[in-house]
Amino acid sequence: MKKYLILFALPLALLSGCQSAPSEEEKKAELQSQVMTIHDEAMAKMDNIHKLRRNLRSTRDTLAAQQADSTAILPLEQELSGLDKADEAMMQWMRQYRAPDTLQHEQAMQYLQQELIKIQQVQTIMDSTIEAAQATITKYEQEK
């Protein structure tokens, strides 16, 4: 019985030992995929930013036409400014990003790590400004 157990266990041990660590190219591709996944998620939010901007401008213009107090318009202006900054952060990241195809592995990995941090920051900016703009719009809609 022991003999059969050893004969069964030996191939399993050999098979599990054959799994190698990911290659440098696989690591680079995985990191680049992470960067691009976050980019794609952030890009999907750009339509929402544009819709929120239109809604905020409409509300601001309506209040201005009603000669509302400037303290009522100021939060709308602040949210519009935040949305503009989020939009510009995304556009700036896209203008500066270059696929690290010509870099050595270590340089490419460093570059992609930096770009991952940058695009995560862009995504955070976008998420927070979208959330704040939606809250402001909801507040003004409730006051109607």
Say if 136 falls within a structural domain. yes
- Which residues, given as ranges, of the chain have pLDDT below 50? 2, 4-7
Domain total for the chain?
A: 1
**Domain enclosing residue 136, as ranges:** 26-143
Residue 7: its pLDDT value, please?
A: 47
Does a structural domain hold residue 2? no
Q: Which helix (H) or strand (E) holds 82?
A: helix 70-96
Instruction: Give a yes or no: residue 1 inside a domain.
Output: no
d(CA 46, CA 8): 57
* Residue spans of alpha helices (H) in the chain: 2-17, 24-44, 46-65, 70-96, 105-143
Residue 96, domain member (yes or no): yes
pLDDT digits (tens, 9 = 90+) for 89-114: 999 999 999 999 899 999 999 999 99
| pLDDT the model gives residue 17 | 52
Asked if residues 52 and 137 have their Cβ atoms less than 8 Å apart, the reply is yes
Question: Does residue 8 form part of some domain?
Answer: no
Q: What are the phi and psi torsion angles at 45 (to 5°)?
A: -85, -10
Q: Judge whether 82 lies within some domain.
A: yes
DSSP-derived letter for residue 103 is: S
Per-residue model confidence (pLDDT) at position 21:
73
The CB density around residue 49, as the number of other CB atoms within 10 Å, is 20
Of 102, 137, 91, 96, whose CA–CA distance to 114 is shortest? 96
- Whether 85 maps to a domain, the answer reads yes
Query: Using alpha carbons only, what angle is made at residue 138 by residues 64 and 58, rounded to the nearest 5 degrees?
Result: 30
Residue 15 lies in a domain: no
